[in-house]
A and B are shown apart, each in its own frame.
Chain A
Amino acid sequence: MKCNRLVDVGRRQFLRGGVLGVAGAAAATVMPAGQAQAQARALLDYPSARLGNLADLVVNEPMDIAYPDADSPGVLIKLGTAVEGGAGPDGDIVAYSVLCPHKGYYMSYHAADKTLNCPGHFSRFDCEKGGQQIWGHATQNLPQFALRVDDKGDIFAEGADELIYGRLSNVLQG
C-alpha cells in the first residue's frame, strides 16, 4: 500500500499549504497586488515573487517554494545541465507547480531521472523538458513558472504557462 501512504502524506502537506519559509516570504510580496486592478485588465497580473538566491541552490536538490501565493506549492531546481527554457547563468534553473494537474495530488521529485512523480495515479513529468508529461492521466503538461534572475542572483517567479490545479484563475481573485 505504498502509494496510499504517500497519497496521505501528499494530502496532509497540501492541506497545510505545503509551504516552507521561502514561500512565506513570496506570499508576503504577493498580496499587495490589487485584486480590483487584476480584474480590470485583459491579462492576469502575476506577482513578481522572490523564490531564493543562486547561492541557495544545490544541483539536483529541489527547493520547496510556493507561487503565485502560499497555497500553490512548487519546486525550484538547479538541474545541472542547461535546458530549453532554463534560467540563470547556466541556463539550468527551472520551477514547477507540484500539484498533479490530473487530480491535484502532491508530487515528489525523483533526482535520479529528474522527474516529478504523482503518488495518486502514477503520472510523471520531465523537469528537463518543460514539465512534459512522460506518461499519465493529466490533460496538460506541468505548469512551469517563468523565472528572472537579477544582478544579485535573486531568483524571481513572474508567471505560469498552464492552469494550476485547484484554481480557475492562477492568481486567485475575489
Chain B
Amino acid sequence: MAYKRNIDRLPIIPADAKEHNVTCHYCIVGCGYKAYTWPLKKQGGTAPGDNKFGVDLTVQQGADAEAWYAPSMYNVVKQNGQDVHLVIKPDVNCVVNSGLGSVRGARMAENRRSDITGTQAQRLTEPLVWRYGTWQPTSWDDALDLVARVTARVIDKDDENDLYVSMFDHGGSAGGYENTWGTGKLYFGSMKVKNCRIHNRPAYNSEVHSTRDMGVDELNYSYSDYQVADTIMLVGTNPMECQTNLFLNHMVKGMQNGAKVIVVDPRRTVTVDSCEQVAGAENVLHLAISTGSDLALFNTLFTYIADQGWVDADFIANSTFQGDVAVAEDAAHPASLGSFEAARAACKMSLADGAAITGLTEAQIIQAAEWIAKPKDDGSRRKTVTGYEKGIIWGNDNYRVIGALVNIGLSTGNIGREGGGVCRLGGHQEGYFRPSDAHVGRPAPYIDQLIIAGGGKVHHIWANDHYKTTLNAAEFKRVYNRRTNMVKEAMDARAGATREELVDAIVSAINAGGIFSVNVDIIHSQIGQAAHVILPAVESGEMNLTSMNGERRLRLVEKYMDAPGSAQPDCIIAARLANHLERVLREEGRAEYADQFKGFDWKTEEDAFMDGYNSGNPEVTYERLRVAGNDGVQEPVKGYENGALVGTPRLYEDGVFTRHGREDGKALFCMGTWRGLQAPGKAQQQANHRFLINNGRANLNWQNWFLDQKNDFVMDRFPVPFIQINPDDMADLGLKPGDMVEVYNDVGATQALVYPEPTAKKNETFMIFGAPNGTQGNVINAGTNELILPNYKQTWANIRKISNATPAAARVSYKSWEVEL
C-alpha cells in the first residue's frame, strides 16, 4: 500500500495570521509562496470572516482554490521561541507560478524541522567535534577555536594553497547573496584561496564558459518570452520535471498560443509527452539524437540556416564582431571565437554528415531548421526561444556545443528580443556576490583529483557533498576516508590532551598525508561522516535570504521560523570563523596577517547583505525587497522610482553585448568544429561496455533530496534510486521490475532499482543522479571536458542482477509515467 498520512482535517488559517513572502528555495524557478503563522492555541473558523481567505469553508472548494492546502503544506514550528502553526502554500498572485505548486515546493512546510511533529529530525542543531572516538556536541566558540587553530597552522600571508575549500555558489536553499558574500569575503577577500570548488563540480569555474566568452550571459530572457514565442527549443533539458512551473505556467501558455516545440534529447522524457498533450504531436519535434552528438546537430542546423539565408543580416552587422578571429583557440579557449562568416566556415557540416552522426534523418534536421529560423510569409523573424541545461552542460564537448547553440540564436537575431533568448534553464537559484575569483586561474584546479593525489591539508566544506555528487566518486571516497581517518586516529590517540597538544597531533597527521575536514551543512551529510568538525547552518526561511531565479528575478524570503538549535546562517558562520582566525593569528604574533580578517563584525544576515550586495547595488535594500514582494525585481536593478525598484526584464535589448568585457559590445561566434567524444576515456569506455548509463534528475526529488531522504512520501515511491531499462533488455538480463541491479564498469560500481521504460532505446538506460543510496557518480570516469567540466552523461557500463525486489521495492508502482487521457 502506498504511504498515506491519514490526516483528514487541518487547522484553519485565521484571518489575522501573519503572512510572510517566501520564494521556494529548491529549484531555479523560484515559485512564489506565502507562509502563514499563528499561535498554537488559536485557530480560524469556517465562516468567511473567520479565515484568511474570506471564504465559506463548510462547502467543497473548486479546482485551483486559493483556500485549500494539503497536509504537506502544514507543520508546527518555533517562531521567536514560541510554537506556531505554519502553512506554506503557493501564492496565486506571483507572476512566476500563478498559484501552482510543484511536488517539491508544496512540501516545504512538511520538510521544516519540527520538535512537535518530528519532521526533519536529521537537521543539525549544535556544533560537533570529533572527540573520544565519535562526534561530541559543543559550543560555537570551542568548535571554531579548533578550526581556526588548525587552519592557522597551514596558511600564511600569500601562502594559502594548503587550504582547500568546497563552497556553494548558489542562491535559494542555504545559499543566496548573504551567504555567498560571507564565504566569498573570507576566502577571496581576507584570503586568496586558489584550491577551491563549487557544490556540483570539481573546480571553481563557470559551467558555460563559451557563451560568456561570446558576450552572452546565460540567463538573458524573461520567462514571459515563452508565452509569445513561435518556437520553443529545448536542448538537454526536461522542464516538466525539473523546472515544473516554468513549463506549466509559461511554456504551456506559449504552446496554447500556437508555439511549436523542438526537444533535443536522446531519450523520450515526460516533457516530450506533455508537449504532445498540450500542442498536439504534429507540433512537437523530438530529435532523439545519438548521445553526445549535439554539436554535429547544431553545426548542421547553423550551416543549413545560413545557406538558406534565414539569418538576421542587420543584427549580425550591427551587434556582432566583424572580421575573422577575435579570440584564438588556446588552453583557456577550447575553440576560436570570431565573426559569423568565420564560424560558418569552421562549423560547416552537410545535412548528410549531420544526419549520419546524430542518427536523425535529413528531413528531421530540415524541419527543425524551418521551425527555428524560416521567416514567416510576411518576411518577419520567427521568434525562437532556446532553453538548455545539463544534457549539454554535462555532456560531450561543453565549450563548443554551447557555443554552437548560441551561434544559432545570434545568427537569427534571437537574443535580446521578445520571444527569444538562449538561456540555461538552471538547477538552483542564483545569488552570487563575491570578490574577484581571478586568482583561481583558468583552467581552474581540478580539486577532487588533487585531493586524491594527496593535495590539501585542511578542507573547509560549505554545503557540498562530493560523496553523492562528484565524478570518479568511488576512488574519491576511498582516498578521502583514508586521509581523514588518519587525522581521526591521531585525535583519538591524544584524548585528554590540551588544545595545544591536540592541534600538534592533528598537524602531525596532516603532514603525514592526512586531511583535516570541516563540514558546514544543515544535515549530517555523507562527506560529513569524514569530518572532524561539523558546524550547523540554517536554510531559507530560518533566515532572511535573497536570491534570483532563472529570469534574474530577485526576491527576499522573509524569515518565518527559528533556526534549529543554535544553527546559524552561513554568512554569520563565516564571520565568526574570520573573527576566530583574526584572534588566533594575533595571539600567534602574526598581526599583519590577522588584519586581513577584519571587517566581519556582522550581527545579522542583513548586515552581510548590506556589506556585500548592497555595496554594488545601492538601490537594493531589504525594506524595498519586502515591498516588491513575491514578484520582486528582475536584475540588474536600474533604479528606484515612485516607491518601486526598477529592473530589467530582458538583457541586450539594445543589441550591445557586455558579458565578455569587450569595449565594442559586439558578440562573438564560436568556431567549434565537430570532433567526436572529447573527454578522455569516453570512447574506450563506450567500446568496452554494453549500456549507456545516461543520467539526470526526476520530478520528485530534484534539488531537495538532502531533505527528502527523510521524507516518507518520497522514500515510499523510490526506496532506491531507479534505472530505467528497455523491457527487451530486461528480458535479456533476466530482470523483473523492482529487481536490484549493480551497474559496474572500469571505474566503479553502484546499485539501482529496475524500472521498465518501453520508450527507452535498446542498450540505453537512464539512472537517477545524486541519490543518497546509490551514487551514480561511482561509475563516471575522471575524464572531464576542457576547463574541468564533468562529462556525466556519456558513461557506459554493464549491468548485473544483485537480488529480487526488496519488500519496499516490491510495493511500488512500475507503470508508465506518460499520462493517458
Identity of the chain A residue whose Cβ is nearest the Cβ of B104 in the assembled complex? A139
Say if the beta carbon of B7 comes within 8 Å of chain A: yes
Let me know if B60 and A137 touch, CB within 8 A. Answer: no
A120 to B2, CA, bound (A): 23
Q: Which residues of B from 51 to 74 have beta carbons under 8 Å from A?
A: 57-65, 68-73
Q: Which residues of B from 1 to 44 have beta carbons under 8 Å from A?
A: 1-10, 12
Q: Which residues of B from 244 to 282 have beta carbons under 8 Å from A?
A: 244, 248, 256, 270, 273-274, 277-278, 280
Identity of the chain A residue whose Cβ is nearest the Cβ of B58 in the assembled complex? A174
Given A162-B7, A165-B68, A172-B58: A2 in contact with B811 (beta carbons within 8 A):
no
Let me know if A44 and B713 touch, CB within 8 A. Answer: no
A104 to B280, CA, bound (A): 24
Q: A104: which of B57, B65, B716, B817 is its contact (CB, 8 Å)?
A: B65
Say if the beta carbon of A15 comes within 8 Å of chain B: yes
A135 contacts across to B, CB distance below 8 A = 270, 699, 817
Identity of the chain A residue whose Cβ is nearest the Cβ of B711 in the assembled complex? A139
Most central of A99, A104, A120 by chain B CB within 10 Å: A104
Let me know if A166 and B62 touch, CB within 8 A. Answer: yes
B4 contacts across to A, CB distance below 8 A = 130, 140-141, 144, 161-162
B58 contacts across to A, CB distance below 8 A = 172-174
Let me know if A141 and B815 touch, CB within 8 A. Answer: no
Which of B95-103, B121-129, B177-185 binds A? Answer: B95-103
Q: Which residues of A from 125 to 174 have beta carbons under 8 Å from B?
A: 126, 128-142, 144, 159-163, 165-174
Identity of the chain A residue whose Cβ is nearest the Cβ of B67 in the assembled complex? A168
Q: A167: which of B60, B106, B274 is its contact (CB, 8 Å)?
A: B60
A144 contacts across to B, CB distance below 8 A = 4
A167 contacts across to B, CB distance below 8 A = 57, 60-61, 68
Say if the beta carbon of A10 comes within 8 Å of chain B: yes
Say if the beta carbon of B107 comes within 8 Å of chain A: yes
Given A137-B102, A137-B103: A132 in contact with B46 (beta carbons within 8 A):
no
Let me know if A170 and B9 touch, CB within 8 A. Answer: yes
Say if the beta carbon of B136 comes within 8 Å of chain A: no
A103 contacts across to B, CB distance below 8 A = 63-64, 100
Say if the beta carbon of B816 comes within 8 Å of chain A: yes
User: Could you give, for residues 577-594 of chain B, a 1 whenever the CB lies within 8 Å of some chain A CB and a 0 otherwise?
Assistant: 000000000000000000
Say if the beta carbon of A118 comes within 8 Å of chain B: yes
Most central of B57, B59, B270, B813 by chain A CB within 10 Å: B813
Q: Which residues of B from 784 to 821 have beta carbons under 8 Å from A?
A: 811-813, 815-817, 819-821
Let me know if B277 and A3 touch, CB within 8 A. Answer: yes
Identity of the chain A residue whose Cβ is nearest the Cβ of B9 in the assembled complex? A169
A2 to B110, CA, bound (A): 35
Let me know if A162 and B1 touch, CB within 8 A. Answer: no
A32 to B62, CA, bound (A): 25
A106 to B597, CA, bound (A): 61
Let me know if A140 and B812 touch, CB within 8 A. Answer: no
Given A104-B64, A174-B46: A85 in contact with B6 (beta carbons within 8 A):
no
A112 contacts across to B, CB distance below 8 A = 820
Say if the beta carbon of B717 comes within 8 Å of chain A: yes
Q: Which residues of A from 34 to 70 have beta carbons under 8 Å from B?
A: 44
Separation in Å of the B792 CB from the closest CB of chain A?
23
Let me know if A130 and B1 touch, CB within 8 A. Answer: yes
B65 contacts across to A, CB distance below 8 A = 104, 166
B280 contacts across to A, CB distance below 8 A = 1-2
Identity of the chain B residue whose Cβ is nearest the Cβ of A3 in the assembled complex? B277
A84 to B256, CA, bound (A): 41
Separation in Å of the B701 CB from the closest CB of chain A?
12
A15 contacts across to B, CB distance below 8 A = 62
Separation in Å of the A1 CB from the closest CB of chain B?
7
Given A140-B5, A161-B4, A173-B58: A104 in contact with B820 (beta carbons within 8 A):
no
Say if the beta carbon of A82 comes within 8 Å of chain B: no
A113 to B101, CA, bound (A): 27
A110 to B819, CA, bound (A): 9
Identity of the chain A residue whose Cβ is nearest the Cβ of B8 in the assembled complex? A170
Separation in Å of the B540 CB from the closest CB of chain A?
19
Count residues of B near A (Cβ-Cβ below 8 Å).
Answer: 57
Q: A163: which of B9, B57, B62, B101 is its contact (CB, 8 Å)?
A: B9
Identity of the chain A residue whose Cβ is nearest the Cβ of B241 in the assembled complex? A135
Let me know if A104 and B7 touch, CB within 8 A. Answer: no
Given A10-B63, A139-B70, A139-B73: A168 in contact with B2 (beta carbons within 8 A):
no
Let me know if B815 and A113 touch, CB within 8 A. Answer: yes
Given A71-B59, A104-B61, A122-B277: A132 in contact with B2 (beta carbons within 8 A):
yes
Separation in Å of the A27 CB from the closest CB of chain B?
12
Separation in Å of the A29 CB from the closest CB of chain B?
18
Identity of the chain A residue whose Cβ is nearest the Cβ of B110 in the assembled complex? A139
Q: B815: which of A102, A126, A131, A160 is its contact (CB, 8 Å)?
A: A126
Q: A121: which of B6, B60, B248 is its contact (CB, 8 Å)?
A: B248
Identity of the chain B residue whose Cβ is nearest the Cβ of A113 in the assembled complex? B815
Let me know if A139 and B699 touch, CB within 8 A. Answer: no
B61 contacts across to A, CB distance below 8 A = 104, 166-167
Separation in Å of the B755 CB from the closest CB of chain A?
11
A123 to B812, CA, bound (A): 16
Let me know if A14 and B248 touch, CB within 8 A. Answer: no
Let me know if A72 and B60 touch, CB within 8 A. Answer: yes
B816 contacts across to A, CB distance below 8 A = 113, 134
Separation in Å of the B42 CB from the closest CB of chain A?
15
B46 contacts across to A, CB distance below 8 A = 173-174
Given A14-B62, A71-B59, A133-B717: A168 in contact with B71 (beta carbons within 8 A):
no
Q: B71: which of A108, A120, A140 is its contact (CB, 8 Å)?
A: A140
Given A14-B62, A14-B63, A72-B60: A126 in contact with B813 (beta carbons within 8 A):
yes
Q: B8: which of A10, A44, A113, A165 is its contact (CB, 8 Å)?
A: A44
Given A129-B812, A132-B812, A162-B7: A71 in contact with B63 (beta carbons within 8 A):
no
Let me know if A124 and B819 touch, CB within 8 A. Answer: yes
Given A117-B819, A132-B2, A160-B8: A139 in contact with B713 (beta carbons within 8 A):
yes
User: Could you give, for residues 333-375 of chain B, a 1 whenever the CB lies within 8 Å of some chain A CB and a 0 otherwise?
Assistant: 0000000000000000000000000000000000000000000
Identity of the chain B residue whose Cβ is nearest the Cβ of A69 in the assembled complex? B60
Most central of A84, A105, A132, A135 by chain B CB within 10 Å: A135
User: Could you give, for residues 87-103 of chain A, a 1 whenever the CB lies within 8 Å of some chain B CB and a 0 otherwise?
Assistant: 00000000000010111
A126 to B70, CA, bound (A): 20
Let me know if B821 and A168 touch, CB within 8 A. Answer: no
Separation in Å of the B35 CB from the closest CB of chain A?
16
Separation in Å of the A168 CB from the closest CB of chain B?
5
A6 to B821, CA, bound (A): 8
Let me know if A104 and B9 touch, CB within 8 A. Answer: no
Let me know if B63 and A104 touch, CB within 8 A. Answer: yes
A128 contacts across to B, CB distance below 8 A = 813
A159 contacts across to B, CB distance below 8 A = 8
Let me know if B70 and A101 touch, CB within 8 A. Answer: yes
Given A134-B815, A168-B10: A113 in contact with B256 (beta carbons within 8 A):
no
Separation in Å of the B71 CB from the closest CB of chain A?
5
Given A103-B100, A132-B2, A166-B62: A137 in contact with B8 (beta carbons within 8 A):
no
18 additional contacts (CB under 8 A) given A103-B63, A140-B71: A11-B63, A99-B63, A104-B62, A104-B68, A110-B820, A115-B815, A123-B819, A126-B2, A129-B813, A131-B2, A132-B812, A135-B270, A135-B699, A139-B103, A163-B8, A167-B60, A168-B9, A174-B58
Provide 26 A-B residue pairs closer than 8 Å at the C-beta atoms, listed in order of the A residue: A2-B280, A2-B821, A6-B821, A84-B811, A99-B63, A103-B64, A104-B63, A110-B821, A112-B820, A117-B820, A122-B270, A124-B817, A129-B2, A134-B813, A134-B817, A137-B100, A137-B244, A139-B101, A139-B103, A139-B110, A140-B713, A159-B8, A163-B5, A163-B70, A169-B9, A173-B58
> Could you list which residues of chain A lie within 8 angstroms of chain B, going by C-beta atoms?
1-4, 6, 10-11, 14-15, 44, 71-72, 84-85, 99, 101-106, 108, 110, 112-113, 115, 117-124, 126, 128-142, 144, 159-163, 165-174
Give 10 closest A-B pairs by Cβ, nearest first.
A132-B2, A130-B2, A139-B72, A169-B9, A135-B817, A71-B60, A104-B63, A110-B820, A126-B813, A130-B1
